[in-house]
Amino acid sequence: MLELLEPIAIFTHVARAGSFSAAARRLGISKSKVSTQVADLEHRLGVQLIQRTTRSLSLTEAGHLLYLQGEELLRDAEQAIASVHNLNDATRGVLKVGISQSFGAMHIIPALPSFMAKHPELELQVSLLDHKVDVVSEGLDLLLTMSEQLPLGMVARPLMKCQFLLVASPDYIAKHGEPSRPEQLVDHNCLVYQGEWHEHSMWQFKKGDDYCEIGVSGNFRVDNAPALKSAAISGLGVVYLASYLMEDEIAKGTLVPLLKDWQLTHHLPLQAVYPRRKHLAPKVSAFIEFIKDHIGNPPYWDIPYAELFSER
């Protein structure tokens, strides 16, 4: 068993890097040693792990399975080392974080210098993502996501609930009127988020005991939430928009809240997603706590709209 740990680790680096040469450079060993160790591992296990061509390599089904387990093995080893290093509560090493693209760019990236100043021995690697994420295969320690499609086998820790606003531009309202009930949205041009895995065309509303879900349609669909806001500002239609996307548009009057006596009840929590482990690495825990403190409760961007979010 012990004699397999090194070749499994080397194979995992090959799978990560996508080539023997890149893995050898990352590990600081020769390409021939990498190739020999992987070949020996295949021989010992009695299965082919990698399909090789002159220009590329790909994992077999067995190789993909071993790669996932190898990632877990390396992460556990890194966590064990980090636990020893962090006996003095210092946070060091490399932290790989994936963040939902629009949310990360607006609210997380600007705060990271403060986090780095608190943890100068930590190297932070951030990916702004807008696709369905495999935390393990993409080598992430942590994913901050508002996706409704969460990875399987992960811990999902809710950090806050995303609120929504129904808005349109003054020009649109002047031309098409303002709805007084959710049902009237079927007569309006509604701007819809349509991603690879999700289409948000059913809009939910609540007022006291009255609840309704309205199927909306329009002539503009896009897989980028900030683009929806831009389209609404330009007067294209009505949008059911996450509040974190709002800056000063309402204060300036470029967007106007609609159906203010109704609550928008679509549920979209921000969640910290990470592999299930017995002990959470200190660097991951530190980042999560920093983000919670940075966002606040309620989130700082929701404070101007507290009246709109109150129970009605």
Q: Domains of the chain: which residue ranges? A: 2-86, 93-160+269-301, 164-264
Q: What is the structure's pLDDT at 171?
A: 97
Q: 164-264 sits in which CATH class?
A: alpha beta
Q: What is the structure's pLDDT at 101?
A: 87
Q: 2-86 sits in which CATH class?
A: mainly alpha
Q: What is the structure's pLDDT at 92?
A: 76
Indicate yes or no: pTM above 0.85.
no
Q: Do domains 2-86 and 164-264 have the same CATH topology?
A: no
Q: What is the structure's pLDDT at 211?
A: 93
The side-by-side arrangement of strands in the sheet containing 263-264 is 210-215, 202-207, 263-264
Is 93-160+269-301 a CATH 1.10.3720.10 domain? no
For residue 110 the two structure tokens come to 């600007």
Q: What is the structure's pLDDT at 190?
A: 97
Cβ contacts of 133-138, under 8 Å, gap ≥ 24 = 133/98, 135/98, 135/273, 135/274, 135/275, 136/68, 136/71, 136/72, 136/275, 137/67, 137/68, 137/71, 138/98
Mean pLDDT per segment of 10 residues, for the chain of length 312 residues? 81 87 87 89 90 80 89 78 55 86 93 94 88 73 80 80 95 96 96 83 93 95 93 97 94 96 90 78 91 94 86 61
Contact 291, 119 (CB under 8 A): no
Strand 199-200 versus strand 263-264 pairing type: unpaired
d(CA 167, CA 306): 16
Q: What is the structure's pLDDT at 2?
A: 66
305 CA to centre of own chain: 25
Q: What is the structure's pLDDT at 87?
A: 44
Residue of 195, 240, 224, 223 lying closest to 105 (CA atoms):
224
Q: What is the structure's pLDDT at 235?
A: 97
